[in-house]
Chain A
């Protein structure tokens, strides 16, 4: 079984400041890792994912996440946030062996303030 821990339920930050949203996972098998974002009153949409290769993955809107196998972490970062980044962010994992059950963390609410 897999589990995902997002210790920060809320992260307030000022616009143009850097931010890091933390994600740690536990699994007895290899997993793929995902970050999904949920804007207010919308469904989730994929932000980025790590499947293999370079441990640093990037999204089109400036977020990046780094897979650290030894620390079982997949933290999400952005060097300079914008008001429009205000949303809830979910880290998720899925076994590499197949299936489509995503195991989600409890989410981190990012609130960007002026």
Chain B
């Protein structure tokens, strides 16, 4: 089954404790992105990757890091989480063109105390 998976689905942590949210897709997609969803703000792109070892900032990259060492994986790293990073996070992937549908993971709900 073609899918995007994220782990963990739920996470409660404390300020400053490094964490990683994993994202994996099995569709051999070139593009992968991370979004955060906040009430009243819709979804905003954090980082995206056009291929292995190629990443770039989205609209709200501050406080986040990403890496793309393999085509299928695109982890999101919060090295020192803060309460304003409490949000719902989605990973998405698509083929290689802007016309292509983006496929979203199920989301990771993160709470930073």
Interface residues of A (CB under 8 A from B): 4, 6, 9, 32, 36, 42-46, 49, 51, 90, 94-102, 104-107
Contact = CB atoms under 8 A, between A and B. Distances in A.
Contacts of B94: 100
Interface of B: 4, 31, 33, 35, 40-45, 48, 50, 58-59, 90, 92, 94, 97-107
A51 B40 contact: no
A25 to B, nearest CB: 13
Closest 4 CB pairs of A and B: A43-B104, A104-B42, A106-B42, A100-B31
B108 to A, nearest CB: 10
Nearest to A51: B99
The interface residues of chain A, by DSSP majority, are classed as loop
Given A43-B90, A46-B101, A51-B99, A9 B40 contact: yes
B33 A100 contact: yes
Contacts of B45: 101-102
Contacts of A102: 33, 43, 45, 102
B95 to A, nearest CB: 9
B101 A101 contact: no
Contact of B40 (A45, A90, A99, A106): A106
Nearest to A90: B42
Given A43-B90, A101-B58, A106 B41 contact: yes
Contacts of A51: 99
B98 A94 contact: yes
A100 B48 contact: yes
Nearest to A99: B98
A45 B33 CA distance: 15
B60 to A, nearest CB: 12
A43 B104 CA distance: 6
A42 B4 CA distance: 12
B42 A107 contact: yes
B104 A45 contact: yes
